Amino acid sequence: MRLGLYHIQLMRYYEEVMAQAARNYAFTGDKKWEMRYRAVEPISDRLLKNAIANTDETIQPFFTVMDNANVDLIKMEYQSIELVNEGKKDQAIALLDSKEYTGQRRVLAGGLEDFITQIEGDARQRGNLSDVMIPSVQQIIELERKLAVMEDNLKKEKLFAIGELSARLAHDIRNPLSVINTSINILISQKDIDAKTMETYERMQRAVERITYQIDDVLNFVKPRVSSLKNTSLHEILASVLARIDIPKTVVITIPPNNIEFVGDIISLEIVFVNLITNALQAINNSGEIVISASVVKEKIIIKIRDNGPGMSSDIIPKIFEPLFTTKQTGTGLGLTSCKTIIEQHGGHIDVESVVGKGTTFTITIPYRQIM
């Protein structure tokens, strides 16, 4: 088998896509880059293995060197992905900037680039190309980078607009909302209120709570708190959260029997649990079961919040942590984004699993910091 320009450029292209995807994931934490990396890596590896198996003895040593470099790079890139998943973005970036990584990149990328140049030179001397030409790999790489930059800029513009809007409106909305809420509470506390009037007052109260919840979503996202680590426990946080949420009698919430004591930002973690439990209540339409479990595994606290709602389709799951994405008519699309940010500030990560018709499970993993 004689390798031509198309095959080598394809190898070079996939190698660059993998490197760029790993770096983009390290900087952004956006799961789509991890998904792209995991999709491309087996293809790239297979191309190199096929090159070794199907070329003559004079070329095999070259591709063996390329393959060895590729194996080392894949190990480091997967390691960087795991570091990001553990909330250690700085370490992931440092690994991809290390001498070992950049050295192997020079071996693989430089070797393939030189091989491409040699094939192009031979082809020009012959006056023809036996392989189908593809666009320059550099053009493809540049397009990938431009798309990533454009997407990042678009996200920043959205966040800037949210910040500007929330800063102007939050104070103006909160004050009259507080007056309305106080007035409703006074009305509800009066004696001899007929059932129809009480129902009206309660609808008004729920509307105020919904607006307050949306304002909190925006403010928690735009102006995240400075972390304040204190001694706390899982039961303490859950008790405070459940006291703040209106839980219908048609919902059963099971909390972990084991109480894990640890160090964390109590207020921020309460925001996370309020969001996740409220989302679960909405998912089960205020009728069903929510199970919260917790364990300590290898110096990490793992907390799962599972509901038996309708679940989410596979096309929705990758988007749920993106700012402004929501499937609810009254949602802001910022609650889960705030949860992700808070958990990452604790050095952890949040994941989701969902099966249509069976329910959804959010998994929080944070380092286990023992009581000070």
pTM summary value: 0.50
Do 71 and 167 lie in one domain? The reply is: no
Residues 242 and 334 in one domain: yes
CATH of the domain at 15: 1.20.120
* Predicted pLDDT of residue 288: 92
What residues have CB less than 8 Å from 365, skipping those under 6 apart?
Answer: 86, 300, 301, 302, 303, 343, 348, 349, 350, 351
Please report whether residue 349 resides in a domain.
yes
Please check whether residue 336 is in contact with residue 320, taking contact to mean a CB–CB distance below 8 angstroms.
yes
Overall domain count for the chain: 3
In a domain, 213, yes or no: yes
Q: Are residues 235 and 316 in the same domain?
A: yes
What is the predicted pLDDT for the residue at 1? 41
Q: First-to-last CA distance in the chain?
A: 66
264 three-class SS: strand
Domain boundary among 222, 257, 277: 222
**Are 212 and 241 within one domain?**
no
In a domain? residue 146? no
In Å, the largest CA–CA distance within the chain is 100
> Are both 36 and 56 inside the same structural domain?
yes
Residues of the chain short of pLDDT 50, as ranges, are: 1, 124-136
Question: For residue 38, what is the enclosing H or E element?
Answer: helix 31-54
Pair 88, 214 in one domain: no
Domain boundary among 173, 207, 222: 222
Instruction: Tell me the pairing of strands 349-355 and 359-367.
Output: antiparallel
Residue 147 lies in a domain: no
The answer to whether position 297 is within a domain reads yes
Residues 295 and 185 in one domain: no
Residue 61 CA to residue 169 CA, distance in Å, equals 66
Same domain, 243 and 334: yes
Residue that terminates a domain, selected from 99, 134, 169? 134
Same domain? 35 vs 104: yes
> Coil, helix or strand for 225?
coil
* Token representation of residue 272: 């996370």
Angstrom distance (rounded) from CA 346 to CA 268: 10
Which 8-state DSSP code applies to residue 317?
G
One domain for residues 164 and 109: no
pLDDT digits over 201-229, tens only?
888 887 787 677 667 666 666 665 556 78
Q: Are residues 108 and 205 in the same domain?
A: no
Asked if residue 178 and residue 116 are part of one domain, the reply reads no
Q: Which residues of 67-80 are buried (b: 16+ CB within 10 A; e: fewer)?
A: bebbebbbebbeeb
Domain that holds residue 43: 5-134
Residue type at 210 in one-letter notation: R
